[in-house]
Structure 1
Amino acid sequence: MATTGNVTGTPELKGKRALVTGGTRGIGAAVVARLLEAGAEVLTTARTEPDEVPDGVRFVAADVRSRQGAEDLAAAAVDVLGGVDILVHNAGGASPYGSATAIPDEVWLDALNLNLLASVRLNSLLVPAMRERGSGAIVHVSSSAVSVTVPPLLHYTVAKAGLENYSKGLAAELAPAGVRVNTVTPGRVTTPGGAKVQEEWAGLDPTQVGAGSVVPLGRDGQPDDIARAVLFLVSDQASWVTGSNLVVDGGEFPRG
């Protein structure tokens, strides 16, 4: 596999330490592969250990939905990597619910904990060291579902909308310290998680799910399409980019 490098041929992220949440399948696994290829030292996490971890990748099991889980992961990152220069918040997801008004409190709280507060908590633990060093790159992975807000996934889209606003505010605060914060918003991407949601939707009222739209570029996305966007944002090629939301959806949901 060719190594991603700069004009001198040096790996773009050589010497950088990266933590990727939700990095064992789909978009997260593709991000891990791209960062590793670019020369970064990579630690990833999920609730359960996968059958196989790619060579060169460190793994620690953690549930980022709780404050304790975030604290355990942050401590592990410092212990394993010695610190974090790149932080990619990819862990997320939710199951569709039959009616927006029937979504129970525990489902709302689980969606908020996984899709918003996991990032908030982990940042609160790892950003201070980035601020002190005067450098760092953070990427929050959102979802184009924020643009369509279908009722069965309202708890998910509300949490992701909050993540996008949080990312902008954090970027404004950290920019003077040299820490960059950006969002990547994937469109319709072929992943195991996406396939599972489609299966769960199959039993819901089609009028609530909404008709599928056509992707102008003619195909659904692949995890590596998103991983390449993340790689750009955490690299020096994006050294003057912060507070941005890079939408990668094949033109499906144009934003003004």
Structure 2
Amino acid sequence: MNEFNEILEFLRKVTRTKLNVPKSFLNGEEFEDFTREVLFPKDVYDLLHKTHNYKQNSEDFVEDSLLPDYKFRNRDLNIEFYVECKYRDITKIQNKIDELIQIHESKKRTNEEEILLEKNIKKIGTIELLSQTQYNRLLELNTKQRVLVCIGLYFQNTKNIYPYVLPIEHLTTNALHIYDLEDYLVPNNYTVIPDRIVDFYIDKSSHCVSCKKSMENRPHQPLCRECHINWQKTRIFKSEMNYCHSCGKEHKSSVARPDCLNCFKKNMNVVFDI
């Protein structure tokens, strides 16, 4: 009888620790472990902070859980930064996109159909990475200490997780399209090279369209960290700004149209090699 009671007690413990944890949290926690063990391993990055897991917070919420999941320091370059981990299963999204493309590829498309296809793909493939509250909180933290977002996209057809790492300020809003992550892929699930993190921040060739502060070239999000926070309050892409993103000259620009006409023409020539 004692043995039976011991078994029951064991099952209760398992139920409390595993079955009561939402599936999304289990996947997220597994990806957090992957982030630490593979992308930011202890032989390259010191761990300065780790947020408490679901079980710990469900028993007694810890205030610093509002911070990103990790804070790391690279020993060689002596750089410190936070990392917020986000895991998403995109199998259904990718399958819907593939089905949509197949349907439209089966016939010759008009210009209107091409535009509609692009809009539908953008609508289907856009995912919310962060709640608006968390996004605003991380942007605020980013003005004091750099914050990176580490995204794991799982695609069932390939049985693989595709990890991406990008600075929080590269997200114009709290959502983005999965295809916009291409430049941030960590190849072959290797360790994130410290130099790559530094590269996110050393380019100062462009200017904030609101205050003219030097910043990296980012046509899709041409605001410095401080101005980006203020812009988030309204998120009006066409609201009037003061400077050209590329040359820094006074110009009636906007987040939607960050460059003056001369810089726009120059950049278009480079893109299309005219």
Which range, TM-score by smaller chain?
under 0.3
| RCO higher in structure (CA 8 A, sep ≥6) | 1
Larger Rg: 2
Alignment TM-score, normalising by the size of structure 1: 0.25
